[in-house]
Amino acid sequence: MIDSRTVGITKYQAFCALLAAIGSFNFGWNIGSVNIPGDVLQNCVTGHDYYGPFPSCIGVSSGTVWGIIVGCYALGALMGAVLSNYFIDRKGYKFVLSWFALCNVAGALLLSLTTSVAQFIIGRIFVGIAAGAANNALSTYVSDMTTPRGRNVLGGGVQFACNLGIMLDNAIALGLAPPPRWRILFALTGVFGLINFVLFPFASESPKWLISKGRYEEARESLAKFRKGADIEAEFNDMVQSSKENKERTEDVNVFQVIRGKTPDNLRHQLLCVSALMFFQQLCGINAVIFYSTSIINKSTHDDPADIPTLAQILTFVISLVALIFTFFGMVLGAYFGRRTLLMFSHGTMAIFSAIMVAGSVKDITGLVVTMVFLFNAFFNLGVGPIPWATAGEMTPRYAMTAMSGIGTGIGYIFTFVIGVIFPPMQSAWGNYTFFFFMAWNIAAVTFVFLFVPETKDRRIEDTVKVHSCGIHIVLGKKWQVGHANDKKPADLATVTPNFTSEYI
């Protein structure tokens, strides 16, 4: 029998990863679900009629209220992420990924049967809770059940599922946007949630989680299923040993200890980087495109919103399709270029596209505006999209990883809500110049990354922590003698010292 540590992706791994990816798919489905039918729901562009007890639209006269409807999904996701941490610790990943899917069913019922703004908001919060819980659990679950050979493929598949959800929702919305068919669009998320709930009992729990709870026989059985036909003894012993070492080394710290600096290592710089990158990810303008691209493009195409599907709605679908394709490019580039390079390139190009978009809007050049929206969304997926989510895991010690990830996730969801709320009134007030706001934040992000964000690609976490656990500092102009992630033996951390005379690498 072959060593289980060398196997690739088994059929059972793929099955479990696919089930987990349904949560990511639903996350993408719901984040953009109000984009194409937005005019129908908000402005009743097809008229205000009744189909039995159900109105053809919910009718929202205030742009701020519509922004709250759009953005409250992110607040629900934040609630789901916080709640899921509690249940992951006590019940495991399998419990969270199956039972929280029922929030999608509840949310779908509220959304598809809505008769008021309040009911629609509550429904958005429920599907947000399901999305936040799934997003918080599935990456670790997939990582725990795979070997390094299969991790990149299945991990990338989870990210792909999110963009696939956005794209398919936009595609189906082209036919389901008119009343009363938009109710079917919102009901479908409940179908996906129900599939998750029904099938996840056939998946196995994370073997690493079972080991951490002392349930060794169950962990052995779980690992044997994931590595069918391979010898699991060496890998199982490695997992047990690693779990014991982590418990002996130090206890996990919580969010408040990290914020107050009450940690064994000085993690101020890591806290700054994780927080800032998640902040800039939301302020770069991507959520304005995901939530409101139909409205943005329609200001240039001047479509009749009642003529469904409009050109703006069709282009919104094409934009999401391009984003899906560029997700693959981002995965490929991530294997060849450093995190700093991709972040600065991605933010920098988005700043340029924002400026050109403003110029095109002012001059009423429809083709230019549409092209810039396409490129803006595409280049987001090359760096700004995937990298900030990975930074906490690449520069933070294991004992603080959960807390640091929680801080970054919280910042991300809060500012997703903020952008969702402020964009409609900002667009009304600033008109053609709205994207100057996002251009400025992208320029600020490039500057921040250049000065403060260390390179973590192919670096061992231990080395990165040792080097940068010295308070907030500028990384430019320093060369850190750190080991490569593929080195067979750990570097002597005592020799990891800064060289102030060389260019930062």
pLDDT digits (tens, 9 = 90+) for 327-342: 888 888 887 888 899 9
**Model pLDDT, residue 465:** 79
In whole angstroms, give the CA distance from residue 237 to residue 260.
Answer: 36
Q: What is the pTM of this model?
A: 0.85
Q: Is residue 55 assigned to a domain?
A: yes
In whole angstroms, give the CA distance from residue 350 to residue 355.
Answer: 9
- Mark whether 39 and 120 lie in a shared domain: yes
Last residue of some domain: 164, 185, 203? 203
- Mark whether 194 and 261 lie in a shared domain: no
Q: Which of 314, 301, 322, 385 is nearest to 350 (CA)?
A: 385
Q: Which of 137, 402, 390, 467 is nearest to 246 (CA)?
A: 402
**Model pLDDT, residue 346:** 97
- Mark whether 166 and 292 lie in a shared domain: no
Q: Is residue 235 assigned to a domain?
A: no
Q: Which CATH number goes with the domain that contains 37? A: 1.20.1250.20
| CA geometry: angle 456, 461, 462, nearest 5 deg | 135
Q: Is residue 246 assigned to a domain?
A: no
Range of the domain at 176: 10-203
Task: Give the pairing type, strands 54-55 and 50-51.
Answer: antiparallel
Q: Is residue 4 assigned to a domain?
A: no
How does pLDDT run along the chain (505 residues), one tens digit per residue?
A: 788 887 888 899 989 989 989 999 999 999 889 999 998 999 888 888 888 899 999 988 888 999 999 999 999 999 999 999 889 889 999 999 999 999 999 999 999 999 999 999 999 999 999 999 998 888 788 888 887 677 667 766 777 888 899 999 999 999 999 999 999 999 999 999 999 999 999 999 999 999 989 999 999 999 999 998 888 999 899 889 888 876 766 677 888 888 888 888 888 999 999 999 999 999 999 999 999 999 899 888 888 888 888 999 999 999 999 988 998 888 888 878 888 999 999 999 999 999 999 999 999 999 999 999 999 999 999 999 888 887 777 888 878 877 888 898 899 999 999 999 999 999 999 999 999 999 999 999 999 999 999 988 877 777 777 788 788 888 875 554 444 444 444 433 333 333 322 222 2
Last residue of some domain: 181, 203, 225? 203
- Mark whether 170 and 272 lie in a shared domain: no
- Mark whether 382 and 474 lie in a shared domain: yes
In whole angstroms, give the CA distance from residue 399 to residue 246.
Answer: 8
- Mark whether 171 and 272 lie in a shared domain: no
Q: Is residue 391 assigned to a domain?
A: yes
- Mark whether 51 and 121 lie in a shared domain: yes
- Mark whether 338 and 466 lie in a shared domain: yes
Q: Is residue 243 assigned to a domain?
A: no
Number of domains in the chain: 2
- Mark whether 173 and 29 lie in a shared domain: yes
- Mark whether 199 and 304 lie in a shared domain: no
- Mark whether 258 and 197 lie in a shared domain: no
- Mark whether 498 and 403 lie in a shared domain: yes
Q: Is residue 1 assigned to a domain?
A: no
Q: Is residue 240 assigned to a domain?
A: no
